[in-house]
Structure 1
């Protein structure tokens, strides 16, 4: 897969980056943790511009999130869970994954849409509960774009710094993802405590 990603970025440039990031959102097994750092490395060679690389990554990623959003909006939770359990092995998603994303979204709403784009494994599926809950399209687009811009910029800059060792980026993402998850748990806990306090 790495060779295919390298060839696509080298031959198609910005369009290739956008295309790969679109596929990464539609087919999660394709890792953005390789695509954008590789693009950052290509920037160091003077072949591409950093800002345009980030822009291409954001556009491709958001376009890839839209089918999931509209899928959630059209089908609803139960039907999506059924389809995920039946066919999800092709996309590495199960009905339980969809339910967890929905529960996470219910706790934090708009914020979950943005922060969810920063967490590998959740960043794609967070679009589904946004659709299920019929979040406004423009609200979804704004929060998704903010979260995606942070994620894409981080990956691209990491690849830019690491140069030929861009494949090592994945090792550095573990602690960052953990920090984001812990922050979300803390925010969710505080929200639950405040809610219970109001009820009492």
Structure 2
């Protein structure tokens, strides 16, 4: 398990070593609170990096006097915003036409699916960007359609900053309060993350099954 060495180290009051926790600890030891911001920026770009490990660990580091709580909150939120901006830029560079062209090459995905997504984003985009910052994986991906749809940049920045600050503050403060037991929060959030991913996987499977079923019906009708 990735956090085993972290559990053993923090149980003894030491900094965690090995795995993601050890990597994040090295960044914070070298760069301070700025290192926590770098780790969170990378987490936004590479969702498999778990913020539910990095953020409580930043709180633990703050409790050990390595840097202040305000610095931890500032730099991790700045990292979240920078990572989100990078993905927003990807969406903006792709644009609507390229996105449609890419969608046309993906099996079982139709341009009409993109159109429906655009309509949904037009109606609920602000909520999606704000609350999306609190959902694993989705908090990274939501920045791409925001860029494709060219959501006003000041609005995107405000929503991303607010949502990220709330998410980051919760985990950093819990990590700070727990101290050497910071890793306990990852167990609870791990269940939350698995639940979200399970729902997402079910939605994808349902989409694929419905699309295959419709394709089969279309072929059956054309053969008559």
Where on the TM-score scale, by shorter chain, does this alignment land: which range? 0.7 to 0.9
- Is the contact between residue 14 and residue 53 of structure 1 (CA under 8 Å) also seen in structure 2? yes
Give the equivalent residue in structure 2 for 1:76.
95
Distance 1:124 1:7, change over 3 A: same
Q: 2:63 aligns with which of 38, 44, 53?
A: 44
Q: Supply the distance in 2 between the matched residues of 1:103 and 1:72 (Cα, whole angstroms).
A: 16
1:16 equivalenced with 2:35 (yes/no):
yes
Give the equivalent residue in structure 1 for 2:54.
35
- Is the contact between residue 96 and residue 149 of structure 2 (CA under 8 Å) also seen in structure 1? no
- Please list every run of 5 or more consecutive structure 1 residues that lacks an aligned counterpart in the other structure: 87-94, 180-200
Q: Supply the distance in 1 between the matched residues of 2:95 and 2:194 (Cα, whole angstroms).
A: 28
- Is the contact between residue 102 and residue 128 of structure 1 (CA under 8 Å) also seen in structure 2? no
Distance 1:140 1:56, change over 3 A: same
Give the equivalent residue in structure 1 for 2:165.
149
Give the alignment of 1:150-165 within 5 angstroms: 150-165=166-181
* TM-score normalized with structure 2 length: 0.66
SS at match of 2:182: helix
C-alpha displacement at 1:178, in angstroms?
7.2
- Please list every run of 5 or more consecutive structure 2 residues that lacks an aligned counterpart in the other structure: 1-19, 197-224
Q: Supply the distance in 1 between the matched residues of 2:133 and 2:120 (Cα, whole angstroms).
A: 13
Distance 1:139 1:69, change over 3 A: same
- Is the contact between residue 104 and residue 112 of structure 1 (CA under 8 Å) also seen in structure 2? no
- Is the contact between residue 81 and residue 160 of structure 2 (CA under 8 Å) also seen in structure 1? yes
Q: Supply the distance in 2 between the matched residues of 1:133 and 1:12 (Cα, whole angstroms).
A: 36
Q: Supply the distance in 1 between the matched residues of 2:92 and 2:180 (Cα, whole angstroms).
A: 42
Q: Supply the distance in 2 between the matched residues of 1:102 and 1:35 (Cα, whole angstroms).
A: 33
Give the equivalent residue in structure 2 for 1:92.
none
Give the alignment of 1:78-93 within 5 angstroms: 79-80=98-99, 82=102
Q: Supply the distance in 1 between the matched residues of 2:53 and 2:120 (Cα, whole angstroms).
A: 27
C-alpha displacement at 1:2, in angstroms?
2.1
* TM-score normalized with structure 1 length: 0.73
Give the equivalent residue in structure 1 for 2:6.
none
SS at match of 1:28: coil
C-alpha displacement at 1:102, in angstroms?
6.3
